[in-house]
Amino acid sequence: MVASAIPVTTDASRWRLARATVLLLLVGALAVTTLLSLRIGALGLSTSDTVAALFQYDPDSYEQTVVRSLRLPRTLIGLGAGAALAVSGAVMQAATRNPLAGPSILGVSSGASFAVVSAIYFLGISTPSGYVWFAFVGAAAASLLVYGIASAGRGGATPVKLALSGVIVSALLASWSTALLLLDQETLDRARFWSAGSLAGRPLDIFWTVSPFLVLGLAGALLMSRQLNVMSMGEDTAKALGLHTGRVRLVSALLVVMMTGAAVAAAGPIGFVGLAVPHIVRVVSGPDYRWVLAYCLVVGPTLLLGADIMGRLVVRPAELQVGIITAFCGAPFLIVIARRRRVAGL
Amino acid sequence: MSAASEARAHPPLRTVRAGGVSFRLNLRTLGLVGLAAAALFALAAWSLTLGSFPIPLEGVLRAVLGRGSEDHEFIVRTLRLPRLLSALMVGAALAMSGAIFQGLVRNPLVSPDIIGINQGATLVAVFWIVTGQGRTTLAPVAFAGAVAAALAVYLLSWRGGVAPNRLVLVGIGLNAALAAGTTYLLVRFPIEQVGAAVAWSAGSVYASTWSDVTTLGAALAILTPAAMVLMWHLRILQFGDDTATSLGLPVEATRLTLVLVGCGFSAIAVGLAGPIGFVALMVPHVARMLAGAMTASVLVLTALLGAIMLLASDVVGQYFLPVTLPVGVITAVVGAPYFLFLLYRSNVRL
């Protein structure tokens, strides 16, 4: 390339190489975390048993059965949910140009929670598999309502209107959930464990139910990264550059609904991954969304599985719900980042 | 809200000069304040007539003045009036706290609910309830939790000054950590205790006593004038730190005072009534839509609207539903549709 003779371009390509190298290292970290997630738990396993359970499954081995029936579903759901939450957080932050945006800005968690609480209260449903579709539909309905209200008035779905209607609808749904929980203690008893957010005790078919949405959403988000780059320059600039900003926001919202709906349906409302991971990632990846999304795709699952592993270790042989751990660990991270960098520049 | 504010580009201002003091009065805002006060008074009087033992309006007024029958006086003065006054003052405190924080951070989505103050109170109070500590100490303990959380947010976001955006992010971080702590307590302890804790954290003015009213009244008597004076500084602060500094405003000191007053409002409310959401977020928006940018007089309007909202919600939750629900559940159910309608209709100034 002729341009490579110019020093600036050399810097740029070196920068690109550095980012690619770090990404590769992070993929390695993800692989290690996945293996650990299959190995570690109330029953300690050897690496050889774990690997054997995956590739040369022996149904008579108790250890291998544990891996197959308990650890594998949990790990897969963790991988999917982590990637979906982190990527959709980044997409929301770009599309709304609000550094505080996360999947919850569309009311996803509260919509899913409300649907699940209603399912328990009115229909007496009590298994994670029974919750899946309620959670998904609740999440999707809430976010469509949020988006519909935000885009109905004058000026369309501007970032601030979107955020405002999200906050309001969330508050509304959360208080309805609270009302149902106060009316019936049994509902509260069941719902409190679901709404802590956990990867444990989910059968593998939950993962298969939600995986089409995960795959579609993630693929769509990665394809959108260029548009998101333009979006993040600001509404006016994006329009001047010929981007149909309303359409991009709508598509981003639909992708986010698919991803977070699937994640919350499988694992319950896990906060903070969607908000924090993009911020953490940007320290290394820079503001380019092609890199931000790729990093989120890798770092999100690593952190979620890491948090889940930590939850299995801290109060052994009992477990802490992963949603509790992500918040406990993510919060200091966010505080450190908020103190270190300017959080503008989205 | 640009269209509405353009219509108000030349508000009916009147300059008042009295001796060495002169100030401008916005007659429109003054009118709105009068209307809100009248509505509040009517609502309050009506709410005192309601209950399992209905008392006619005349009987209520007599009882309040101490000239009613013995039964009426007991019901009105011992049972209904403390709850009414608590609801009014909690609503006013929450609304003013929201107005201060939204102005301070220049972000319309900020309210003390999301930067950890409510969660600080909730975590401590839930711990207090699930471990079976005494109910009498609950309010002071929750207040301490709110203050500690506010202090932690302020100190953690201090870095040679407190940038508003940093304050929000740090607050959200702390909020999440505290909420996780609460969730942990809720899944860890037996359901009997957890039920009581969830009921507290829904937010309610049920069982308010005269001593609560005194506490709230004293706090508001100190904080409200301070907040009204600070509104003037807040408006200068909103020009940006550089402009404010060059106008001679001690930026960090002003910000600290604003944070202290805002947290004071919110901590006293959440300590006594639990984390009642939505009022702090919504009421300042409504006040600004009605009356324009936040000034001392608009702050008074905000306080009145907050009181109306909380009282109305409490009345609805108490008397007009098949089951009794705490006011914190109702504020959202009453407020959200209205706010969504406003959002749909107008270009909200944000």
Residue A44 and residue B17: Cα distance in Å, rounded? 82
Shortest distance between the Cα of B154 and any Cα of chain A, in A, equals 12
CB contact under 8 A, B332 and A175: yes
CB contact under 8 A, B169 and A99: yes
CB contact under 8 A, B187 and A321: yes
A contacts of B166 (beta carbons < 8 Å): 338-339, 343
Look at chain B and report how many structural domains it folds into: 1
**Backbone conformation region of residue B160, classed left if phi is above 0, alpha if psi is from -120 to 50, else beta:** left
Residue B221 tokens, joined: 């008597």
From A165, A188, A331, residue closest to B195, measured CB to CB: A188
CB contact under 8 A, A100 and B169: yes
B contacts of A327 (beta carbons < 8 Å): 176-177, 179-180, 183
Shortest distance between the Cα of A107 and any Cα of chain B, in A, equals 13
Residue A138 and residue A112: Cα distance in Å, rounded? 4
Count of beta carbons in the 10 Å neighbourhood of residue A42: 11
Query: Read out DSSP for A190-234?
Result: HHHHHTT---TT--HHHHHHHHHHHHHHHHHHHHTHHHHHHHTT-
B contacts of A114 (beta carbons < 8 Å): none
B contacts of A99 (beta carbons < 8 Å): 165, 169
Q: Which residues contact residue B134 at a Cβ distance below 8 angstroms, ignoring those fewer than 6 apart?
A: none
CB contact under 8 A, B170 and A339: yes
From B179, B281, B346, residue closest to A327, measured CB to CB: B179
* Predicted confidence (pLDDT) per residue in A195-215, tens digit: 888 888 888 888 998 999 999
From A160, A183, A324, residue closest to B184, measured CB to CB: A324
According to the model, what pLDDT value does residue B88 have?
94
Query: Read out DSSP for A114-152?
Result: HHHHHIIIII---SHHHHHHHHHHHHHHHHHHHHHHHHH
Does B219 fall in a domain?
yes
* Residue of chain A whose alpha carbon sits nearest to that of B1: A154
Residue A274 and residue A83: Cα distance in Å, rounded? 9
Does B23 fall in a domain?
no
CB contact under 8 A, A323 and B180: yes
According to the model, what pLDDT value does residue B237 have?
87
Domain housing B98: 2-13+31-345
Residue B231 and residue A31: Cα distance in Å, rounded? 55
Count of beta carbons in the 10 Å neighbourhood of residue B289: 17
* Predicted confidence (pLDDT) per residue in B163-184, tens digit: 777 787 788 788 888 988 888 8
Shortest distance between the Cα of B216 and any Cα of chain A, in A, equals 25
Burial of B193 (0-12, 13-18, 19+ CB in 10 A): middle
* Predicted confidence (pLDDT) per residue in B45-97, tens digit: 999 888 888 888 888 888 888 888 888 888 888 888 999 999 999 999 999 99
According to the model, what pLDDT value does residue B347 have?
53
Q: Which residues contact residue A270 at a Cβ distance below 8 angstroms, ignoring those fewer than 6 apart?
A: A81, A85, A197, A263, A264, A304, A322, A323, A326
Q: What is the reported pTM?
A: 0.79
B contacts of A174 (beta carbons < 8 Å): 277, 332
Shortest distance between the Cα of B226 and any Cα of chain A, in A, equals 29
According to the model, what pLDDT value does residue A10 have?
67
In terms of pLDDT, which residue wins out, A207 or B23?
A207
According to the model, what pLDDT value does residue A4 have?
43
* Residue of chain B whose alpha carbon sits nearest to that of A145: B340
User: Which of A235, A236, A100, A159 is closest to B350 using CA atoms?
Assistant: A159
Residue A271 and residue A201: Cα distance in Å, rounded? 19
Shortest distance between the Cα of A169 and any Cα of chain B, in A, equals 7
According to the model, what pLDDT value does residue A342 have?
55
Residues of chain A where predicted confidence (pLDDT) is lower than 50: 1-7, 343-346
Residue A137 tokens, joined: 């539909």
A342 pairs with which residues across the strands? Answer: none
Distances in whole angstroms, Cα of residue A199 to Cα of each of A206, A277, A307, B235? 11, 19, 11, 48
Tell me which residue has tokens 């730190």. Answer: B241
* Predicted confidence (pLDDT) per residue in B179-209, tens digit: 888 888 988 888 888 888 888 888 888 878 8
A contacts of B179 (beta carbons < 8 Å): 271, 327
From B165, B181, B183, residue closest to A323, measured CB to CB: B183
Q: Is the pLDDT of residue B27 over 50?
A: yes
Q: How far apart are the first and last CA of chain A?
A: 31
Does B226 fall in a domain?
yes
- Interface confidence (ipTM) of the complex: 0.75
Does B20 fall in a domain?
no
* Predicted confidence (pLDDT) per residue in B210-246, tens digit: 988 998 999 999 999 999 999 989 988 888 888 888 9
A contacts of B350 (beta carbons < 8 Å): 160, 164
Q: What angle do CA A284, A288, A292 make, to 5 degrees?
A: 55
From B176, B337, B348, residue closest to A330, measured CB to CB: B176
* Residue of chain B whose alpha carbon sits nearest to that of A193: B187
Shortest distance between the Cα of A35 and any Cα of chain B, in A, equals 27
According to the model, what pLDDT value does residue B6 have?
46
CB contact under 8 A, B332 and A174: yes
DSSP letter (8 states) at residue B166? H
Distances in whole angstroms, Cα of residue B121 to Cα of each of A68, B133, B182, B269, B334? 43, 15, 10, 10, 24
According to the model, what pLDDT value does residue B90 have?
95
B23 pairs with which residues across the strands? Answer: B16
Q: What angle do CA A163, A166, A169 make, to 5 degrees?
A: 150
A contacts of B173 (beta carbons < 8 Å): 330-335, 338
* Residue of chain B whose alpha carbon sits nearest to that of A179: B329
* Residue of chain A whose alpha carbon sits nearest to that of B328: A175
Shortest distance between the Cα of B181 and any Cα of chain A, in A, equals 7
User: Which of B210, B332, B342, B263 is closest to B93 using CA atoms?
Assistant: B263
Residues A189/A115, Cβ–Cβ less than 8 Å: no
According to the model, what pLDDT value does residue B2 have?
46
* Residue of chain B whose alpha carbon sits nearest to that of A311: B184
Residue B223 tokens, joined: 């904080």
Residues B278/B331, Cβ–Cβ less than 8 Å: yes
Residues A198/A323, Cβ–Cβ less than 8 Å: yes
Does B115 fall in a domain?
yes
Does B246 fall in a domain?
yes
Shortest distance between the Cα of B325 and any Cα of chain A, in A, equals 7
Choosing among B1, B184, B191, B327, which should be mutated to test the A contact, i.e. which has the most A CBs within 10 A? B184
CB contact under 8 A, A171 and B277: yes
Structural domains in chain A plus CATH codes: 3-340 (1.10.3470.10)
Residues A10/A4, Cβ–Cβ less than 8 Å: yes
According to the model, what pLDDT value does residue A297 have?
94
Residue B103, H or E segment: helix B81-105
Give Cα A65 distance to the centre of its chain: 29
Residue B238 tokens, joined: 């909103």
According to the model, what pLDDT value does residue A196 have?
83
B contacts of A180 (beta carbons < 8 Å): none
Question: Which stretches within A235-321 are classed as H helix?
Answer: 235-240, 245-267, 273-285, 289-314
Does B350 fall in a domain?
no
Residue B151 and residue B259: Cα distance in Å, rounded? 9
According to the model, what pLDDT value does residue B1 have?
41
Residues A298/A30, Cβ–Cβ less than 8 Å: yes
According to the model, what pLDDT value does residue A160 have?
65
Residues composing chain B: 350
A300 pairs with which residues across the strands? Answer: none
Residue type (1 letter), A12: A
CB contact under 8 A, B187 and A192: yes
Q: Is the pLDDT of residue B8 over 60?
A: no
From A164, A176, A271, residue closest to B176, measured CB to CB: A271
Does B55 fall in a domain?
yes
B22 pairs with which residues across the strands? Answer: B17
DSSP letter (8 states) at residue A43? S
Residue B200 and residue B145: Cα distance in Å, rounded? 15
- The CATH code of the domain that includes B310 is 1.10.3470.10
B contacts of A161 (beta carbons < 8 Å): 343, 348
Residue B199, H or E segment: helix B191-201
Choosing among A182, A194, A195, A270, which should be mutated to test the B contact, i.e. which has the most B CBs within 10 A? A182
